[in-house]
Structures are given as C-alpha cells and as structure tokens.
C-alpha cells in the first residue's frame, strides 16, 4: 500500500493518534482552534482598519502580524484536520514541499515583523519626540516589505533543493505536517548540504531577528529604569509586555524545535513544539495583544 502511494508521489502523514475516538476529539478541538484563530485575527485587522485611533505604526504592524497568523494557521490546520479523520492520510510530494515552503515563509516573516514591532516600541519609549518622524508610514511599509521578502527568500532557498532529492521506500512522515527536517529524514539522497543550508540560513535569520529585538529591548529597559515615577515605569512597560510574551513564545519553541541537535530529537516533543508555535501561537497572539489594550477592546465592542 505504501509502495503504491510512493509510486504516485505521495507521503503518508501519521498524525497525532490512530485511535478513532481520540481522532474525533482532536478534530473537534483543532477545528475550534482554527475557527477562533481566524475570527480573532480578522477582528484585529478590521478593528485597526476601521478605527481612526488605531492608525499608527504599532497597530499597522499588528494587523500584518494578524494577517500572517491567519496564513500560518491555514497552511497547517486544514490539512491536519483532513488527515485526522481521513482513512488515507496522504499528501502529494509537491503539496508537501509547498507546505514546508509556507511554514518557513510564515515563521521567518513573523520573526522580522516582531523585530519591527520591537523597534517601534524603542522609538516610542526612547525617542518620543521624534517618534512620528522616524516611524512614518513610508518607513513602516519598508520594514514590512523587508520582513516578507526575507521570509520568502529563506523559504525559497531551503525548499528549492528538495526538488533534486530522491525518495524511496516507506515515505512515512512521523508528524502531522510537512516540516523540512521531517522531509529530509525520508530522502535516500545525501542531504548533508540541505541540512547545512537549513541550519545556517535558519540560524542566521533567527539570530539576526532576535538580535534586533534584544538590542531594542536593552535600550527600552535602560530608558524605563531611568523613569523616576513608578506609574510612568508601569505605563511604559505595559506597552511592551504583550510583545515580549509573543516573542518568547515564538523564539522559545521555534529555536528548540529546529536548531537543537538531532540526537535530542523525539517524535512526541517535535509534535508538541509544532502544535505550540504553528497552532496555538497564532491563536494566542490576538488574545495577548487585545486583553490589556483598552483601545482594541473598545473597537471590538463597536
């Protein structure tokens, strides 16, 4: 059966469980998560678009982050829902490569969008008098376009070489989605260069985006500590707390999933970490940004 599917250029996705009752439970749970993710992020985009009070760089970046989260969820969850209840849990080889491309595209772009948001907070707190001159709409658009471009190039550089690989034997992916490490482990070709490219490119873009974020926050924390008023420090920090939570979620799970040694790898941990950053994070982002934000909650009510 596996050989027939391999001849027809298919991969098998094992998913999370083989138990029928657990599959039904997982299907309902992840369908609910997907619907909530889409609704919550679309609400943020509509709120930013319709409310004149939210027409500033911070919410401009937030709307792009929400759009990215909808795209990210839509890359993995619909196929995951299909394979959870389907008898034949297959995906075409080209479809698998496309999914790997969009996962890398989304993760990389989100990292640089978050770096842009960190720089925005740096300008707002450390250079308040020059904030609107620095973070004008033209510069904000350049930051967003740069983030999407880097994400696209990183994903393209890592997925194009997959077309040169050969896959033979039982092409079973021990995962619920087509992530690059899972695909490379199935190839009967020499994947050393693919793994090195993935490690170097992923490590570089991850380290650069994280470095830019950390540098911004070093200056932000230094400025906040110099504020004499306790209320002033709390107000300044409150504008950054949501962003810090999202950064920790993305980088903590993403780095541990992709850049840890293969000797430390396990199927269960890979699935847990993937669920965290590809399914739960897009749902948590709008919650984290909206709950402490009075202007956003007012827009939701309207």
What is the residue whose two structure tokens read 């740069």?
A: 146
Q: What are the start-end ranges of the E strands in the chain?
A: 10-13, 90-92, 172-173
Residue 6: the pLDDT is: 41
Q: Give the tens place of pLDDT for each residue, 168-205.
A: 777 888 888 898 888 988 888 888 999 899 889 988 99
Residue 31: the pLDDT is: 94
- Average confidence (pLDDT) over 39-56: 88
| Spatial distance between the Cα atoms of 33 and 271, rounded to a whole number of angstroms | 16
Band (2; pLDDT cuts 50, 70, 90): very low
> What stretch of H or E contains 144?
helix 137-159
Residue 255's closest CA among 68, 148, 111?
111
Q: How many CA atoms does the CB half-sphere of 283 hold within 13 Å? A: 16
Query: Average pLDDT over the chain, rounded to whole?
Result: 85
pTM of the full structure: 0.88
Is the pLDDT at 100 greater than 70? The verdict is yes
Q: Give the tens place of pLDDT for each residue, 197-246.
A: 988 998 899 889 999 999 999 999 898 888 877 777 777 777 777 788 88
């Amino acid at each position: 059966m596996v050989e027939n599917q391999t001849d027809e250029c298919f991969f098998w996705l094992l998913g999370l469980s083989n138990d029928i009752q657990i599959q039904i439970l997982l299907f309902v749970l992840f369908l609910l998560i997907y619907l909530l993710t889409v609704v919550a992020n679309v609400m943020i985009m509509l709120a930013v678009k319709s409310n004149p009070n939210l027409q500033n760089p911070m919410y401009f970046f937030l709307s792009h982050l929400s759009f990215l989260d909808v795209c990210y969820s839509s890359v993995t969850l619909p196929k995951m829902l299909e394979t959870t209840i389907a008898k034949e849990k297959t995906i075409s080889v080209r479809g698998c490569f496309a999914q790997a491309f969009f996962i890398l595209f989304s993760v990389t772009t989100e990292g640089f969008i978050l770096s842009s948001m960190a720089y925005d907070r740096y300008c707002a707190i450390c250079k308040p008098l020059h904030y609107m001159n620095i973070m004008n709409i033209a510069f904000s658009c350049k930051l967003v376009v740069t983030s999407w471009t880097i994400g696209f190039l990183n994903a393209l550089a890592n997925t194009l070489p997959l077309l040169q690989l050969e896959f033979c034997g039982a092409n079973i992916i021990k995962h619920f989605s087509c992530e690059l490490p899972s695909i490379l482990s199935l190839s009967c070709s020499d994947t050393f260069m693919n793994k090195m490219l993935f490690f170097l490119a992923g490590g570089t873009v991850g380290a650069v985006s994280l470095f830019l974020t950390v540098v911004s926050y070093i200056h932000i924390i230094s400025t906040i500590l110099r504020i004499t008023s306790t209320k002033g420090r709390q107000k300044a920090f409150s504008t950054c707390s949501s962003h810090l939570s999202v950064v920790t979620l993305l980088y903590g799970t993403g780095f541990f999933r992709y850049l840890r040694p293969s000797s430390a790898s396990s199927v269960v941990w890979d699935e847990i970490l993937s669920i965290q950053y590809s399914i739960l994070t897009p749902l948590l982002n709008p919650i984290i940004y909206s709950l402490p934000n009075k202007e956003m909650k007012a827009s939701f009510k309207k």
